[in-house]
Amino acid sequence: MEPKITVTKQPKSKVEIEVEFSAQDFNSFIDHVTEESLKEVEIKGFRKGTAPKELALAQLDQQAIMEHAAEHAVEQGYRKAVVDNKLEVIGQPQVDVQKIAKDNPFAFKITVDVLPKFELPDYKAIAKTVKKKELEIKEEEIQDSLKWLQNTMAKLEDKTGKAQKGDWVEIMLTINDNKPNRDAFILGKGRLLPALEEKIEGMEPGQEIEVDFEFPDKKPGHAKIALTQVKLVQMPELSDEFAKTVGSFENLEALKQALTNDLKASKGNQITQEAVDQVLEKTANQVKDLQVPDVLIEREIEETIKDFQKRITDQNITMEEYLAQTKQTMDGLHSQLKPGVEKKIKEYLVLQEIKKQEEIQIGEDELNAEVNKITQNYPDLAKVDLGNLLEYTKERMENQRTIERIDSFIQ
């Protein structure tokens, strides 16, 4: 079967696909669906599918036969149009049947979003205009890492009396009319606003207070604080013995060197990503007529809001409460997010186009080795669909390889 197919570009990275099957071809779809349906017909006195054809045909719903034939024709015609025209479709196609009748041509139109096709500017030349930041590790950064390790290795001891700076405290905190939220932290480290932490200092377990305060944006707030526990924090001394308890380090100096190396790797990756982001942003700005499909924008906005909603839910704040406190609407939040989301998608599309032009691919052996490593380190992931895990890992590895390639163009 060779349907007549016409593909026409539409605004906002959509295409309209027109497909027409000849009357003979569409009758073939009808015949196929009819034969399959006859196998399921049950007539008293005959085993299923064995009744005389004339009797069985009388039992069939001809309108349903026609609709199922049309579904098969649409599926086959749409698939052929996508493959033959190398369309990268996204979202759900909108189908509009134009003509449907037995012994007549069957015609339909489909409108669907596709990934935009565009020409890249000279991204290698653009990369040469980007300058990386100097990699510098300050002594205070190393000390901050040591302090973080100290905190993780600290021991808590029971304490009676009032809470003081440096104590570990557990509280129940209620902001305005939100639900109470349990929190635990070391007092004086800036976990809460200073106006709240100052009031906790001097409280005793079982005590409750109410505090009026200001948010950083100067909006007024009201808090109820109940102190449930206070403990002394016994910090281990920074010494060679401490280094040995953290890991297989010979002494404190060896631990500091390891932390320095980790900081260099982390900051080096951050500097590289920032430089590559500049290349992608500059390249995207020079692409002519790069229209991001609405379906991609809406999908990304929904995911962004979903992630944000999860974060505030963890703090016992509902989306309705957040919108009320910030005097926003959901439509307003969508509008606020849209420019940033559109920019992010454009840069992602540029990254994917660079990947194509640089012919970056991950070999099957390399991919399988990475997936095996992932499932060994995270056994629960072995339960997910292997095909999805392979696809996700392949894209992640290819994107990382592309970032490294772009980095090689930066001088």
**297-348 per-position pLDDT tens digit:** 999 999 999 999 998 887 767 888 888 878 889 999 999 999 999 999 999 9
Domain residue spans in the chain? 4-114, 155-234, 250-409
Query: Residue 1 — pLDDT band, cuts 50, 70, 90?
Result: confident
Angle at 356 between CA 350 and CA 359, to 5 degrees: 140
Label residue 327 left, alpha or beta by phi (over 0 means left) and psi (-120 to 50 means alpha): left
Give the integer Cα–Cα distance in Å for 23 and 28.
9
Which position has the higher pLDDT, 382 or 212?
Answer: 212
Q: Are 15 and 8 in contact (CB under 8 A)?
A: yes
In this structure, of 10-14, 54-58, 154-158, 275-279, the range with the lowest mean pLDDT score is 54-58
User: Residue 225's beta-bridge partner residues?
Assistant: 173, 209
DSSP assignment of 64-102 equals HHHHHHHHHHHHHHHHHHHHHTT--EEEEEEEEEEE--T
CATH number, domain 4-114: 3.30.70.1050
In this structure, of 22-31, 202-211, 373-382, the range with the lowest mean pLDDT score is 373-382
Q: Residue 57's pLDDT is what?
A: 67
Interval 174-223: pLDDT, tens: 988 888 889 999 999 888 889 999 999 999 999 999 999 988 778 888 99
Strands (E), 253-321: none
Query: What burial letters (b/e) apply to 380-409, b meaning 16+ CB within 10 Å?
Result: eeeeeeeeeeeeebbeebbeeebbebbbeb
Which token pair is 406?
A: 């772009």
Q: Which of 180-189, 269-278, 322-331, 371-380 has the largest mean confidence?
A: 269-278
Write down the number of H helices and E strands in the chain.
13, 9
Mean pLDDT value of segment 276-298: 93
Q: Is the pLDDT of residue 29 over 70?
A: yes
The pair phi, psi for residue 33, each rounded to 5°, is -65, -40
Mean pLDDT value of segment 141-150: 94
Q: Do 4-114 and 250-409 fold alike per CATH?
A: no
In this structure, of 223-232, 301-310, 382-391, the range with the lowest mean pLDDT score is 382-391
Q: Is the pLDDT of residue 97 over 90?
A: yes
Query: Residue 53 — pLDDT band, cuts 50, 70, 90?
Result: low
Please choose, from the candidates 365, 368, 361, 373, the residue with its C-alpha nearest in 3D space to the C-alpha of residue 390.
Answer: 368
- Work out the number of other CB atoms within 10 angstroms of the CB of residue 306: 10
Mean pLDDT value of segment 269-291: 95
Q: Residue 395's pLDDT is what?
A: 94
CATH number, domain 250-409: 1.10.3120.10
The pair phi, psi for residue 394, each rounded to 5°, is -60, -45
DSSP 201: T
The architecture of the domain spanning 155-234 is Roll (3.10)
Query: Residue 94 — pLDDT band, cuts 50, 70, 90?
Result: very high
Q: Residue 165's pLDDT is what?
A: 93
